Amino acid sequence: MSNANHNHQLGADYGLDTWRNLHIDQQPTWANHADFDATVAELSSLPPLVFAGEVDSMREQLAEVAEGRAFLLQGGDCAETFEGATAYKISGRIKTLLQMAAVLTYGASMPVVKMGRMAGQFSKPRSSDTETRGDVTLPSFRGETVNGFEFTPEAREHDPKRMLRGYHTSSATLNLVRAFTKGGFADLRAVHQWNRGFTSNPAHERYEQTADEIGRALKFMEACGVDFDALKTTDMYVGHEALVLDYERSLTRIDSRTDLPYDTSAHFLWIGERTRGIDDAHVDFFSKVRNPIGVKLGPTTTAEDALALIDKLDPNREPGRLTFITRMGAKNIREKLPPIVAGVQAAGAQVIWVTDPMHGNTISVPSGYKTRRFDDVLDEVRGFFEVHDALGSFPGGIHVEMTGDDVTECLGGSDAIDEEALADRYESLCDPRLNHSQSLEIAFLVSEYLRNR
C-alpha cells in the first residue's frame, strides 16, 4: 500500500476527512487541476516537517503559560515568500525573536515560549476572491502556496504544485531554525551578538543596556559555579495559520508512539477569524489532531462563541491545548474583550490568552499603502493587560507580524516613520510588519507590564 493510500485509510478511522463534507471558506479552486491528485499523493508520502515529540513538548510548555507560569511570544512574517527564505532574512527574524525573548525573560523573570510565525506562513485569507486593476479582474493573491503575487493570469492561477514548493521551503527554513537554536547561536551568553547587523536606534541602545545587565548576571552565576548547559540552546517552535486544508491534511500523520494524528506541517496551528465557524471545516479538522491549536477572535466574538470553540477544540480541558488570539483593535479591546474573558472564566475553562495587536489596527493612507500606527499597536497591548488585570486572568502572550529587517511599513516608533517614509522600504506582500526597532519596543513594554503584575 502506498503511503498516500495508507494515510487516507487511517484518516477514515480518525475522522480526518469529515471536513470535506462541511462548509469551507478561503480555499483554492484547484480540485480539478491536472496536477492536484499527484501533488496531494506526493505530499502525503513526504517526511514530516516537525515531529510528534516536539509537538508534545510545546504543548507541555504551553500548559505552563495556561497556568500563568510562562509567557508566549509569537512573531514573524505576515506572509512568507519563497524568495525570502534566505539565511540572512531568516536569521534576522530569529535574532529579533531571541532579543525580544531575552528582554521579556529578564524583565519579567519568567520563561518565554518562543514561536516563529514561519516555515509555513505561505497562505493568506482574503476579503475578496478577485482583484481589479483598471479594467482587468484576476483572482486575488492568496499566498505563494496558492498563486503568485504578480498581476497576470498565469501568476494568479491556483496551482497545487506550489504546495510542494511550500513544503520544501518550510523544510529549509526549519533546518536553519534548528541549527541556530541548537548549534550555539542561541547561547544566552551571546546576547550582545544578536544585535550585530542591525541599524543603531533608541531601542537597539536600550537592548544593549539590558544585554549588559544579563551579561553581568551570568558572570555572577558562573563565578558561583552555576551550570550553563540550560542556557546554551533554546527551543523555538514554528506555527502558521492553517488555511489550506488540502496541505494540512496531506501532512497529517499517525504517531507510532501514541497512535494519534498530528499535523506535522508545524508545531502550532491557528484558525483565522474568517474560518472559525463552529460547524465549519477548519474547526472540525483541527478538533481531530493533537497539536496545540489557536483561534483568532475579532471584535464580533461573543462569550458563547468562545465557549462553543472550547467545547469543540478542547473538550478535555487540557492546559496548553487551546489558545485564543484576540485581535480587537485599539478602539475595541477594552470594551469587547472583558465579556469574553469573563464568560470563559465563569465556565471554568483554562485557555491561553494572547493579544494580536496588529490585525485590528490596519489603515490605508492617501498614498495607497496599507499600514498601522505603532501607537495603536501599543495601545491595544496596554488595553489587553488592563482587561486581564481587572479580571484577574493571566495575559499569556503576544502575537506580532514582524521582521528583522529595517523596513518602513508601520508608522511611528522611537525611530519615527512618517507617511513619506513608507515608500523607502515597504517590502511586505500583504500586511505591514513591525521592523526590528519597533519589535524591541513592544518587548520592553510587555516586560514592564509583566514585571509590574
Is 279 annotated in some ligand binding site?
Answer: no
Helix axes 87-108, 161-182, angle to 10 degrees: 50
Q: CA–CA separation, 124 vs 241, rounded Å?
A: 8
Yes or no: say if 79 and 118 are a contact pair by the CB < 8 Å rule: no
C-alpha cell read off for 371 = 499600514
Is 158 annotated in some ligand binding site?
Answer: no
Residue 398, beta-bridge partner list: 73, 355
The dihedral formed by the CA atoms of 96, 100, 105 and 106, expressed in degrees to the nearest 10: 100
Residue 363, beta-bridge partner list: 371
Distances (CA, A) of 150 to 27, 29, 208, 429: 20, 18, 41, 10
Yes or no: say if 437 and 412 are a contact pair by the CB < 8 Å rule: no
Give the position of cell 484518516: 11
Is 296 annotated in some ligand binding site?
Answer: yes
Q: CA–CA separation, 186 vs 193, rounded Å?
A: 10
Is 25 annotated in some ligand binding site?
Answer: no
Pairing of strands 370-372, 236-241: unpaired
Is 64 annotated in some ligand binding site?
Answer: no
Is 401 annotated in some ligand binding site?
Answer: yes
Q: CA–CA separation, 411 vs 433, rounded Å?
A: 10
C-alpha cell read off for 128 = 475578496
CB count, 10 Å around CB of 185? 18
Distances (CA, A) of 394 to 132, 333, 453: 44, 16, 10
**H helix count then E strand count, the chain:** 14, 14
DSSP character at residue 433? -
Is 359 annotated in some ligand binding site?
Answer: yes
Is 78 annotated in some ligand binding site?
Answer: yes
Residues 6+ apart with CB under 8 A from 199: 406, 436, 437
Q: CA–CA separation, 213 vs 6, rounded Å?
A: 55
Q: How many residues does the chain have?
A: 453
User: Which three-class secondary structure state does DSSP give residue 187?
Assistant: coil
Q: CA–CA separation, 118 vs 352, rounded Å?
A: 21
Binding site per annotation, positions for phosphoenolpyruvate: 117, 273-274, 296, 327
Binding site per annotation, positions: 78, 117, 273-274, 296, 327, 359, 401, 431
Binding site per annotation, positions for Mn(2+): 78, 359, 401, 431
